[in-house]
Structure 1
Amino acid sequence: MGVWGALGILVVLLLSQMSSLDRDLKQRRQPIAVFQWSAAHGLTDDRLVDALSAIPLRNRPIKVSWDHAILAVDLRADSPADVGYDMSRLILYAYQDAPNVKQVLIRVIGENEAGRALLLAVETRKLDWTKRELDELHQPLMSDLLRLPSKLRLSVTAAGERWLGNFANS
């Protein structure tokens, strides 16, 4: 077999490797993605409005803030049933969908001819809730929420007692 035979075998081997070299070259010439989409995890200042606007609330939020893992929401008060529904929606979002929320503060504000008045305030912490308890929160009435003193630290003002009383009598 001589030198020419060995050289022929070497050429055949090199030619068989040309397709893999071409494939590597094509991969190197493809555009590289500089920005890649990634799902946002948790609540941030940048996502606050978008995240809360996706929650189907029955009352209009008056003010929303996010500070050090604390979500604070002021709600306009229409009816206690709607407020209870909205409170449960906010708590479910905060503790099931946004893993970085550790505490939720909700204030319910009533409006009358004299102006705005604080009716009630609720404070709750993520550590107070079990998964089962959150699953039971899917559509409670305000009266159901008021029976959760260990979960919801609730403060009702005199105006709030009148507001709750007016709806209880109607």
Structure 2
Amino acid sequence: MNKSTPINKKLTGSIILCIVFILFAQAYQSDLKNLMKTIFESGWLSKILWTYVICVLCFHRYLFASYELAKDSFMYKHFGTYADTLFGISTYGVAGSTSIALLKGLYMQTFFDGKHFMGFGTFDLISMFLLTSFLFVYCIFNTTILLKEIIFYSANAVVEVRT
């Protein structure tokens, strides 16, 4: 008797969604390029990022998070919650907005013949893109983890430290 493996619906749906997105991007390539240019030039990405980081870190530090883990940080030990919050906001905000500015320059130079990084070769630009996109994803990912802790916060949760 053959027992068939059930279909992974999430993975299958993700693959289908990726294929549809790629086909859509190919069909409307020039429209999407101009849309991305408009988004980058509007300045809204940076404003949205700063708003997201400030709100999430303030709520996380002051309203929801227990400071058992934060108490181990240098900033919290020496300067308290206020400085730890400001340092977190500035770290993620500056990292995110800087990466947006660099990605904008790379995008404009690649697709619209802009001259943002003169003297850089193809390898340098590719390296810059990889590092900048990693920095952007790192900023968004870590801030989203803090948001997840806020959303799924439970006052009854017990933290057990084992040695």
TM-score range, shorter chain: under 0.3
* TM-score normalised according to structure 1 size: 0.26
State which structure, 1 or 2, has the greater radius of gyration over its C-alpha atoms. Answer: 1
**In proportion to residue count, which structure has more helix?**
2
Structure ranking higher in strand proportion: 1
Higher RCO (CA 8 Å, separation ≥ 6 residues): 2
The TM-score, its normalising length taken from structure 2, stands at: 0.27
